[in-house]
Each structure stands twice: as structure tokens, then as C-alpha cells.
């Protein structure tokens, strides 16, 4: 049995895995904040977008309020630059350990249950309810029957923020398909992960170069903002290769373990978080300056401006992603009951939060409160309602198997496994 001193010393050792696990609490707050303020962006038109007329911009801005604040535009622009890429990067961190532990078929069946089933249920059942207030803003006939007719007449099935889930599932399917081949070359995969730890500057330079190759051509072909929609499936046309690169880069980084890899608690990423902060700020400002020159019609801008805009996006996304990782590993190594509850409920909150966001923003339309106060009320209300609803849903055994943390806890309860496995966002 370990002595009390040994236990204290072990507890005092910084653990990157704990910080990465805490990211679930951090990112759900960012997601809720992002969607809470969309109704109050300064650049929105004075009137809400028509429900049944192209280009159907209400998909991104379901409620348009008359109260605005420019600060929200900057906040949302920053999150739009990096947040979804960051989701794919972090999701990829745990793919290789999870595949090693479960095997390809079990991993894939778990992904279908944990990602595929919620995507279908939320997209087909919850999204029509969530978007009813969107329709009411411009409706001449506010009845539910009329709304349903308009909904079915749309050339797609709006899925809201759930588009992320089907792309993540697609990348997981690809990882499971590649695993039998890569497992035969396990040492090569681990060497790549070790190389990232031992040569972070070279690895990251190569990563940002490949991300530019993945993003810039598609951004020039389709523009930075165009979307593909077919049924409930959506994605931004300029970013699929960019997203898949971030996902598999995360898989490469996490292959040798969070504690021993690039994200180690005492590694260069955590030590140089201030430098990443400066790089993230500078690259984001550069992207803003470039976009301000072509935002009216990016496709009509001179090709040199378009290339510069695409490259500045790549740099801003890269710097903000690794700033968030480095700062989290440096400062998020803590345990509190509140944080544990938030991160345990984070996935369920992601699935249902949009319902509360849209309805609360709609309820705020009738008030004369300033934009900042409205956004605070929407954010706080959504946080409380989605957190409470998820905690309640997780009491149902069948639901808990999908959005709960029971399986993770069961794995972690084994002392042998606890010593060699880190918490997984993918389990």
C-alpha cells in the first residue's frame, strides 16, 4: 500500500489528461456563449430572414433582434475561426487509445450509438421544435400546421449545430476502417506521435503547411462561407479537408498518450502558452484586416486578396487551437464538483441547448433590454435549463448509455487501467 506521502506526491504531479478532460466544460460554455449572442450581432439586417426564401440565412441566425453590440461580432468571428476545428482536433486525441482498447468493430458500434443515434434523434425530432420561433418572426399564418407545411417544403432538413456530429462520425468510420492496416504498423504511428513531442516546432510547422494545402484551394473554389446541404447533412464547402486534417492530427498527437506526448503537462506547448496567445491575437487581427477589405463579396475580390484571406484564416485557426490546448494544460489542472458535473453533462447539453437558445432569444424580442443584458439572460437560462435537463435525462438508463459517463467511469474504476489510460472524449 502506498504511503500517505507517496499519494500526496502523485496527486501533486501535473496531469495533462485532467486538463484535456476539463476542456469539455470549457468548450460547452464557449458553444453556449457563441449561440447565445448570434441574435445581437451588429452586421445583421434590420429584419429577420424570410423562412422560405433562399439563401435561408436563418439557419445560422435563427432569431434577429433589434438590439445589437459590435463586441459580439468580434467574439463570434474569433470562435468561428477556430472552434469547430478545435472540436475535431480534441476528438481525434483519443481515437488511437480507444481503438487499441476496443478494436475497430466495438469502437465503431460505440460511435454509431453515441454519435449516430443522437444526431438522428435531435435532427429529426428536436430541430423542428427549436426552429418554430424562427418561422414565427416572419409568418403570416402562425399555426403549427402552416409551420409544418413550410418546414416540409424546404429543400433540406435543418439540423442546426448537429452537422458537427455526422462529420465526426464520418471521420470515426474512416479511422475504424484504417485501424486494421495501421495496427500492423503500430510502431510507425507511435514514432510519429513521439516525433511530435520531441520536435514540436517541426511537427507544428508541417501541420500548418498541410492545413494550408487542405484549406486554401477549396476556399478559392467555393468561397469561405458557402455551405452544402442535402437532407439533414450539412458542411461548409471550404473546410471538410481542413476538419479531417485536424481530426487525424489529433489522433497522431494522442497516439502515444496525452501525458507522454506533445500535450504533456510540462511540455513546450504548456510552457509557451503566452507566445501562443500573442500569435493567436496577431493572426486573428490579420485575418480581420484582410476580411474587412473583401467581406462584401469575397468571390469578386482580386485573387491575391482571396489567397491572403485564406492563409490568414489557416494561421488564425492554428494559433487559436494550440493556444487553447496549451493554456488548458497550463491552467486547467484542477478538480471541482461543479466542473465535474458540467463536463459530465456537456455532451447532452450540446445536443439540446439549441432548443433553449432559440426560444429564449425569441422571448427576449418583446423586451427593450440592451443587447448585452439580453445575451446574458439567454446564456444563463440556456446553461441552467440544458444542464438541468441533461442531468435529469441521464437518470434514465437507456439515455445514460448514450450521453452519460457511466462507461468511462467503469473503465476508470480499474486501478491498472487508470494508471495507463487518460479520460476520453470519444468513449
Predicted local distance difference test score (pLDDT) of residue 16: 67
CA 387, 60, 322, 191 dihedral sign is positive
Predicted local distance difference test score (pLDDT) of residue 419: 33
User: Strands, DSSP E only, in 207-311?
Assistant: 227-230, 233-236
Across the chain, mean pLDDT equals 88
Beta-strand relationship, 233-236 and 227-230: antiparallel
pLDDT band at 370 (very low <50, low <70, confident <90, very high): very high
Q: Are 391 and 341 in contact (CB under 8 A)?
A: yes
All three cell numbers of 8, joined, read 500526496
| pLDDT tens profile 208-232 | 999 999 999 999 999 999 999 999 9
Rounded CA gap, 370 and 115, in Å? Answer: 38
Q: Are 68 and 38 in contact (CB under 8 A)?
A: no
Query: In the predicted model, is pLDDT for residue 415 greater than 50?
Result: no
| pLDDT tens profile 76-88 | 999 999 999 999 9
Q: pLDDT exceeding 90 applies to what percent of the chain?
A: 71
| pLDDT tens profile 4-27 | 444 444 444 456 678 888 888 999
Q: Count of CB atoms within 10 A of residue 362's CB?
A: 19
pTM for this entry: 0.89
Predicted local distance difference test score (pLDDT) of residue 238: 96
392 vs 329 pLDDT, higher one: 392
Q: Are 156 and 228 in contact (CB under 8 A)?
A: no
Amino acid at each position: 500500500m502506498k504511503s500517505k506521502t507517496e499519494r500526496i506526491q502523485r496527486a501533486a504531479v501535473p496531469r495533462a489528461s485532467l486538463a484535456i478532460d476539463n476542456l469539455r466544460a470549457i468548450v460547452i460554455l464557449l458553444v453556449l456563449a457563441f449561440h447565445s449572442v448570434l441574435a445581437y450581432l451588429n452586421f445583421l439586417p434590420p429584419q429577420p430572414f424570410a423562412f422560405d426564401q433562399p439563401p435561408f440565412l436563418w439557419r445560422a441566425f435563427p432569431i434577429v433582434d433589434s438590439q445589437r453590440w459590435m463586441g459580439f461580432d468580434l467574439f463570434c468571428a474569433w470562435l468561428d475561426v477556430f472552434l469547430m476545428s478545435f472540436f475535431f482536433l480534441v476528438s481525434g486525441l483519443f481515437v488511437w487509445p480507444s481503438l487499441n482498447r476496443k478494436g475497430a468493430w466495438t469502437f465503431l458500434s460505440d460511435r454509431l450509438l453515441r454519435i449516430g443515434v443522437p444526431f438522428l434523434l435531435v435532427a429529426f425530432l428536436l430541430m423542428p421544435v427549436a426552429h418554430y420561433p424562427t418561422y414565427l418572426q416572419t409568418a403570416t399564418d402562425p399555426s403549427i400546421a402552416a409551420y409544418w407545411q413550410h418546414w416540409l417544403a424546404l429543400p433540406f432538413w435543418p439540423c442546426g449545430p448537429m452537422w458537427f456530429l455526422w462529420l465526426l462520425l464520418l471521420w470515426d468510420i474512416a479511422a475504424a476502417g484504417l485501424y486494421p492496416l495501421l495496427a500492423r504498423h503500430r510502431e510507425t504511428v507511435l514514432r510519429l506521435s513521439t516525433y511530435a513531442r520531441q520536435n514540436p516546432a517541426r511537427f507544428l510547422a508541417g501541420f500548418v503547411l498541410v492545413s494550408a494545402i487542405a484549406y486554401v484551394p477549396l476556399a478559392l473554389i467555393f468561397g469561405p462561407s458557402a455551405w452544402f446541404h442535402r437532407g439533414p447533412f450539412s458542411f461548409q464547402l471550404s473546410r471538410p479537408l481542413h476538419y479531417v486534417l485536424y481530426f487525424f492530427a489529433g489522433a497522431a498527437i494522442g497516439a502515444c498518450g496525452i501525458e507522454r506526448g506533445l500535450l504533456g503537462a510540462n511540455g513546450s506547448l504548456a510552457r509557451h502558452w503566452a507566445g501562443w496567445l500573442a500569435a493567436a491575437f496577431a493572426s486573428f487581427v490579420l485575418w480581420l484586416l484582410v476580411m474587412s477589405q473583401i467581406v462584401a463579396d469575397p468571390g469578386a475580390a482580386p485573387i491575391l486578396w482571396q489567397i491572403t484571406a485564406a492563409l490568414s484564416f489557416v494561421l488564425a485557426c492554428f494559433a487559436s487551437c494550440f493556444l487553447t490546448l496549451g493554456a488548458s494544460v497550463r491552467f486547467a489542472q484542477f478538480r471541482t464538483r461543479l466542473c465535474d458535473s458540467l463536463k459530465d453533462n456537456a455532451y447532452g447539453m450540446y445536443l439540446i441547448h439549441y432548443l433553449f437558445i432559440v426560444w429564449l432569444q425569441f422571448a427576449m424580442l418583446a423586451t427593450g433590454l440592451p443587447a448585452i443584458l439580453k445575451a446574458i439572460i439567454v446564456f444563463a437560462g440556456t446553461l441552467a435549463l440544458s444542464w438541468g435537463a441533461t442531468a435529469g435525462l441521464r437518470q434514465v438508463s437507456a439515455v445514460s448509455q448514450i450521453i452519460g459517463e457511466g462507461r468511462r467511469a467503469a473503465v476508470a474504476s480499474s486501478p491498472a487501467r487508470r494508471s495507463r489510460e487518460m479520460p476520453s472524449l470519444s468513449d
